[in-house]
Amino acid sequence: MRTVRITAALLALTSGMSGLGILGVNAAHAAGIVDTGVSKQTRGYVLTQLRFVTPGAGPGDCPSGFNEGYSQRFLSALAPEERKPYEADPKLLQQALAPWYYDNPEQDPCANPEAFSDPGMHTIDRPLALQRMAPDGSLSVQELPPGQCPTADAFAAMVEQRTIDNQYWRVMGCVRGYQPGGIVEAFSDSGILDGSMTIVLEIDGPASGGNGDVEVRLYSSEQPVTIGTDGAPLPFATFPAVPEQRFHNVARGRLQDGVLTTERFDLRLIRAAQRMDSEYYLRDARLRLELDPETGVASGYVGGYSDLEWLAHAEIRIQDRTGRSSGKPAADAHGYTCPGKYYAIQRLADGHPDPQTGQCRSISVLHSVRAVPAFVLGPEASPDGDSTTSHGAATAQLESNTAQQDTP
């Protein structure tokens, strides 16, 4: 005997050609469900936005001005007449700042920032009203001074009730590329859509309109997001999860009045951009999503603690598949220096203190999230590989709608 699971994907495909084309589902089903009268369902989504929350530097936030990248620092050190040839000829400026890539990583200030002295970095050090995520997933804005690194015992005792403060904004708030509409926003948007960092999401829980406990699963996928002729991401595309268990993330949570909140969980996802192979690693993450029953769109936030070693690798060293660092041109484009950012992150870190040294090893961060319905082809359902489960925007695996079929 084997179990045949009838998913809403099959029901959608057999329900006709109305509504949204070949899927035969309409906007009411956009969060993933064909109405079968059962009490549970699985919603599937693909993320179309994962942006670091950048409020924008306000008056008084950066009294010394914005940070300068390598090009700006070089030009600022010259007399006005000496700058003119470099400002007129970008190639001449590039040559003056060479090398941009180093064969010896020990000589590279981005591949090996800890070996270089701290040049200083302008950070936001005054009391600041920031959006924060409470343990229950609710959001608030409260003016607070910079967070401090707690003791290991204090952090362990309060981690369940600790508010995520987005301390990382204090580090990057005086960087031009991190202002709203800046290069970091464009880079994040392209990566989440072009297959560099495709993220799919499944929510197992109450049927549409219901309240109750949920299981949330986030996977990496290598399938790019489908873009329509209007430039907007299309819903109801199919995304297979990558087979690596490392990038299969599970969290418990609750759906209440259309709002999903999770308990804390560690989140690891593939982050491969251009020539770079890396990961996105968020410790003690919490997810909050509002599920729109009319459009099927899910939007909200994910907050947590970015591991400092991950940040150093992915956003400072930026090592490509050959092991060579692309950190210097990236830092110059955004407007900072690699050692400056490295030491600023260490100074303002506010999570997971080392029991031996007392140095915090992570920093709080908040990302905005948006997702559209999608078909998610999840990992194999049975350990012997006898069957697989197809989930997704309309791929609810309905436990109460499981058909038993005898086979010879």
Residue 177 and residue 330 in contact, taking contact as beta carbons nearer than 8 Å: no
Given the structure tokens 């010259």, which residue do they identify? 78
Range 363-380 average pLDDT: 93
Residue 390 and residue 382 in contact, taking contact as beta carbons nearer than 8 Å: no
Among the ranges given (25-29, 43-47, 113-117, 271-275), the one the predictor scored with the smallest mean pLDDT: 25-29
Dihedral (Cα; 325, 329, 330, 332), 10-degree rounding? 140
Does the structure show a pLDDT above 70 at 15?
no
pTM of the model: 0.84
DSSP line for 60-103:
TT-TT-----HHHHHHHTS-HHHHHHHHH-HHHHHHHT--SS-S
pLDDT of residue 3: 30
Break the chain into its structural domains and give their ranges.
Answer: 48-197+211-376
Range 248-271 average pLDDT: 96
- Please state, in angstroms and rounded to a whole number, the distance separating the CA atoms of residues 230 and 223: 20
- Residue 244: other Cβ atoms inside 10 A: 12
Does the structure show a pLDDT above 50 at 235?
yes
Residue type, 197: M
Range 134-161 average pLDDT: 89
User: What confidence tens digit (pLDDT) does each residue in 64-123 have?
Assistant: 999 999 999 999 999 999 999 999 999 999 999 989 989 888 999 999 999 999 999 999
Residue 324's pLDDT band (boundaries 50, 70, 90)? confident
